[in-house]
Amino acid sequence: MTKTERADYIAKRLEELYPETPVPLDHTDPYTLLVAVLLSAQCTDIRVNQVTPALFSRANNPKDMAKVPVSEIEDIIRPCGLAPRKAKAIQRLSEILLEDHTGQVPKSFKELEKLPGVGHKTASVVMAQAFDVPAFPVDTHIHRLAQLWGLTNGKNVDQTEKDLKKLFPEELWNKLHLQIIFYGREYCVARKCFGMVCPICTALYPNRKTPKEYNKS
């Protein structure tokens, strides 16, 4: 198969497997999604969803969150890891939203990425899932699978994002990035497949004889 043929096959197969793509992080609006995505850095979505009810019962909007002491936020979110840094970011971004954006999450990559604790991936998730703006957030699952499937050389996540955006139609990006994540978690788990076990890997490369190496970052 050519790279384009592989991409077409992947998109069709993932649509068969995951016709519905619910957002994995529990949230009620763009602000709670932003905070949840920030918390998900180096943490599982399951753990984040266990922590956010307590956090959002304390404060679920920028005005209230800006009043919560950083130490209290830190205590609540500690199970997510990196609590001191994340707590400071959550409180400060809440203040900035009030100061510069009338308490609203901006609908702009540029403005989102100015917020503390918000990098390109976090901004992409918010733009895609909160505002339905085409984006292709690349997490560890996507970065790994894109290499196993021969869609990118995987030098870094930025290059993987660029390569995937070239291969797939823009109207598929928001759904497809979730479909790939779901597939990676269910079928192509790191340290188990290495391009030789799961249904898509074996369909794309039926003659692969040795484990496929991939760059982690």
Residues 46-72 pLDDT 10s:
999 999 999 999 999 999 999 999 999
Domain boundary residue, one of 88, 103, 129:
129
Instruction: Examine residue 216 and state whether it is found in any structural domain, yes or no.
Output: no
Spot the catalytic one: 8, 26, 45, 139: 139
Indicate whether 159 pLDDT > 90. Answer: yes
Helix then strand count (H, E) for the chain reads: 12, 0
pLDDT in tens, 95-145: 999 999 999 999 999 999 999 999 999 999 999 999 999 999 999 889 999
Decide which of 45 and 217 is more confident. Answer: 45
Indicate whether 14 pLDDT > 90. Answer: yes
Contact 37, 181 (CB under 8 A): no
Q: What is the pLDDT of residue 216?
A: 85
- What pLDDT band is residue 186 in, cutting at 50, 70 and 90? very high
User: Same structural domain for residues 177 and 124?
Assistant: no
Q: Which domain holds residue 158?
A: 3-20+136-204
Domain boundary residue, one of 103, 129, 155:
129
Residue 106 is part of a domain; what is its CATH number? 1.10.340.30
Instruction: Examine residue 209 and state whether it is found in any structural domain, yes or no.
Output: no
How many angstroms separate the CA atoms of 210 and 196, rounded?
A: 8
Q: What is the pLDDT of residue 70?
A: 98
Q: What is the 3-state secondary structure (H, E, C) of 155-211?
A: CCHHHHHHHHHHHCCHHHHHHHHHHHHHHHHHCCCCCCCCCCCCHHHHHHCCCCCCC
Instruction: Examine residue 54 and state whether it is found in any structural domain, yes or no.
Output: yes
The total number of structural domains in the chain stands at 2
The mean pLDDT of 21-40, rounded to a whole number, is 98
3-state DSSP call for residue 79?
Answer: helix
- What pLDDT band is residue 194 in, cutting at 50, 70 and 90? very high
Indicate whether 33 pLDDT > 90. Answer: yes
For this structure, is 121 an active site residue?
A: yes
- What pLDDT band is residue 154 in, cutting at 50, 70 and 90? confident
Domain boundary residue, one of 129, 160, 180:
129
Average pLDDT, the chain: 97
Could you tell me the pTM of the whole model? Answer: 0.94
